Chains A and B, each alone.
Chain A
Amino acid sequence: MKKITKGLVALGLGTSLLLAGCGSNGDSGDGEVTLELFSNKSESIDTYNGLIEEFEKHNPNITIELEAPPEAETVIKTRLTKDDLPDIMSLGGNATYGELARAGVFHDFSDSEIIGEVQSSYVDMLGQLVGSEEEGTYGIPYATNANTVIFNKQKAEELGIEIPKTWDEFIAALETAKDAGETPIYFTLQEAWTAMPIWNGVAGNLVSDDFAERKNAGETTLTEEYDVVADRMLELLDYGHADNFGIGYSDGNSAFANGEGVFYIQGNWAIPEIAKANPDIELGTFALPSNNEAEENDLVSGVDVVLTVNEDTDHKEEALKFIEFMASQETAQQYIEEQKAFSAIQEVFQEDPVFDGIKVNFEEDRLTSFPDHYYPAGMGAENLVQDFLINQDKEAALETLDAEWDKVINR
């Protein structure tokens, strides 16, 4: 019997050690502080490591450990349940951020000077994610992305296509491409999510920003407000290739890189992938002009990285110091250059010539948010939109979207 007890004790100890190993404490006495920086992006690990080294050089008594696990959103939610949030967090500007902020675990930056140095539209976007019940600013928008129309510069020049400013001009450009025997838009709709950059681009300038809030309050429906959006989605579909629903994202990237298609509706994140498939391709970008009033057409852009600090950390002063360092002009510039992203910090611009067409949107703060970031996550909008594009039944599709939305928020 003794042996069994011993075995069990050993096993028990082993498990508890294993579990205890997951928790950590950042104090090491004598004024030295170790902070944990949690990031949800595996793409930015190298950039962060470089920036941390720079920061530690100026602040020798602070050590920062970067943690960028896979499935980061799930990890951070689990750590919230364990009351073990990291000191500094670099998260995506999405529904998860909103949920965490509503849980009241982030530092309130309302009085911080940094907020004044950030483009205000992004601060508003984060505020909308948190919802109107909570007052305060719980994160610094840092890096941003853009939902664009990418185009093949060489082909556009051959066809004499200028960057379109309105919906009619865009359709005219697509016609020109079609008449010349080119594939006007290269769709990759085998993967449902690739329908969303198009949906967001079209809806971003046609549906007002507070739609989700009014929809949640039961004041409006998609059937009422997304009618034109749905029509224009179907109109775009006429300009695809023979197998719009048979090609996925990565196949689409390489096809577009190798000269198939004139336009490609995707986020800025697709550009490095296309360039990988064909380093010689010359690309340009512009904001999808879904509205017929040129001045109504803004760039759909979202917060890719939010920086925030744990409200209950023991080393808030040091953590805020790191945020200040990150928000400085030089650091922000270095970050977006390495990451091919855009900065939410004022006066910090992405200079890559690919983005010439949308630079003005950042300079003049002509930005609007991703409509679907405010849809309830459980409804799985992307598959419903993909289904709509396949079956092309506008009324039925909008009704389904409405019904799924209501179902999710009511349960």
Chain B
Amino acid sequence: MVKKKYTYLLMVIPAFVIFFTFHTYPALQGIFYSFTDYKGYGNWDFVGFKNYLNVFQDDRALSAYGFTFQFAITATILVNIISLLVALGLNANIKFRKTLRATYFLPFILSVLIVGYIFKFMFTHLLPDFGKALGIEFLSSNILGNPDLAWIGIVLLAVWQSAAFNTLLYLAGLSTIENELYEAADIDGAGSWKKFWKITFPLIAPFFTINMVVAMKNFLMAFDQIVALTGGGPGQATESISLLIYRGGFEGGEFAYQSANAVVYFIVIVVISLIQLRVLERREVK
């Protein structure tokens, strides 16, 4: 028993130490500096809650919040619908099931930046040509250059890329459902729509919960998709909070101020995730 305990400790402690040194400690440092006027180097003084007060008065931060939520909610809903549909399809008795599964997982392996440049090429060259040929006005110029439409381009890239991972989670969920349930439903004469709503969906509820939370959290922290496609533009139309924190903090020399922004954002994400978990877990089958 004693020996077993040591083995556990031996496995846990290195992970804990590394996690603490490279993750928790810098995070605590960030919180600390958010109460100072630190520029990233040199001398600093405590300024109390000044940075926090400024965050709440910063239009740029507010519009970044607006964009990020609009983007994250749309993308989360789309990703979950699409990946659930794909997972149902891939779970069915179809030909080349394994090959198809591998193909659908491919987007997840590719780097977002590379995929981003491919998407950018499509938005810049292929789509406008297509739009012009068909005479569709809003497609005949690059949608990334239009402040009202650019966010849709980012949603498309984000959904295309992250649906793969969520599909994988749904597939895992679907494989936990016993086949007898469907057989029993068949005997009772249930149609496939009814089978989905009464059997499949309730039984994969835990996976639905985790997918919603993970997807939402990832999209709220959107960064590389935006860097690859628009760089926050046109204007500041697609500037997400992560991008704003990075830009202002490292390029703009406002380390302390953006640390305060990051702390606020951290709290927002935690709260949203907790609410999501509470609400969604309640409707899971116990």
Which residues of B sit under 8 angstroms from A251, Cβ to Cβ?
124-125
A407 within 8 Å of B by Cβ?
Answer: yes
Which residues of A sit under 8 angstroms from B48, Cβ to Cβ?
none
Tell me whether A3 and B10 are in contact in the complex, defined as CB-CB below 8 angstroms, given that A8-B17, A384-B235 are known contacts.
Answer: yes
When C-beta atoms are compared, the residue in chain B nearest to A377 turns out to be: B252
Within 8 A of A (CB), among B72-124: 120, 124
Tell me whether A190 and B145 are in contact in the complex, defined as CB-CB below 8 angstroms, given that A1-B6, A81-B41, A246-B124 are known contacts.
Answer: yes
Interface size classification for chain B: 35 or more
Q: Are A245 and B236 in contact (CB under 8 A)?
A: no
Q: Are B144 and A190 in contact (CB under 8 A)?
A: yes
Which residues of A sit under 8 angstroms from B14, Cβ to Cβ?
7, 11
Q: Are B58 and A4 in contact (CB under 8 A)?
A: no
When C-beta atoms are compared, the residue in chain A nearest to B244 turns out to be: A380
Within 8 A of B (CB), among A335-390: 376-380, 383-384, 386-387, 390
Q: Are B254 and A190 in contact (CB under 8 A)?
A: no
- Contact with B51, one of A74, A248, A407, A411 (Cβ below 8 angstroms): A411
Which residues of B sit under 8 angstroms from A189, Cβ to Cβ?
145, 234
Q: Are B60 and A404 in contact (CB under 8 A)?
A: yes
- Contact with B58, one of A74, A377, A384, A407 (Cβ below 8 angstroms): A407
B-contact 0/1 string along A400-411, CB 8 Å cutoff? 000010011001
A-contact 0/1 string along B233-260, CB 8 Å cutoff? 1111101000000011011111001000
Tell me whether A378 and B248 are in contact in the complex, defined as CB-CB below 8 angstroms, given that A3-B10, A251-B124, A407-B58 are known contacts.
Answer: yes
Which residues of A sit under 8 angstroms from B239, Cβ to Cβ?
383
Which residues of A sit under 8 angstroms from B191, Cβ to Cβ?
none
Which residues of A sit under 8 angstroms from B233, Cβ to Cβ?
190-192, 383, 386
A77 within 8 Å of B by Cβ?
Answer: yes
Report how far A329 CA is from B124 CA in the complex, Å.
46
Which residues of B sit under 8 angstroms from A13, Cβ to Cβ?
none
B167 within 8 Å of A by Cβ?
Answer: no
Q: Are A80 and B254 in contact (CB under 8 A)?
A: no
- Contact with B145, one of A4, A81, A246 (Cβ below 8 angstroms): A246
Q: Are A387 and B42 in contact (CB under 8 A)?
A: no
Q: Are B252 and A379 in contact (CB under 8 A)?
A: yes
B218 within 8 Å of A by Cβ?
Answer: no
When C-beta atoms are compared, the residue in chain A nearest to B120 turns out to be: A248
Interface size classification for chain A: 35 or more
Which residues of B sit under 8 angstroms from A3, Cβ to Cβ?
6, 10
- Contact with B253, one of A7, A11, A80, A95 (Cβ below 8 angstroms): A95
Report how far A325 CA is from B114 CA in the complex, Å.
43
Q: Are A8 and B142 in contact (CB under 8 A)?
A: no
Report how far A391 CA is from B9 CA in the complex, Å.
61
Interface, chain B (partner A; CB < 8 A): 6, 9-10, 13-14, 17, 21, 39-42, 50-51, 54, 58, 60, 120, 124-125, 128, 141-142, 144-147, 230-237, 239, 247-248, 250-254, 257
- Listed A/B pairs (25) with beta-carbon separation below 8 Å: A3-B10, A4-B9, A7-B13, A74-B250, A77-B41, A80-B41, A81-B40, A103-B42, A189-B145, A190-B233, A190-B234, A191-B233, A192-B234, A244-B145, A245-B141, A246-B144, A377-B252, A378-B252, A383-B232, A383-B235, A383-B239, A391-B147, A407-B58, A408-B252, A411-B50
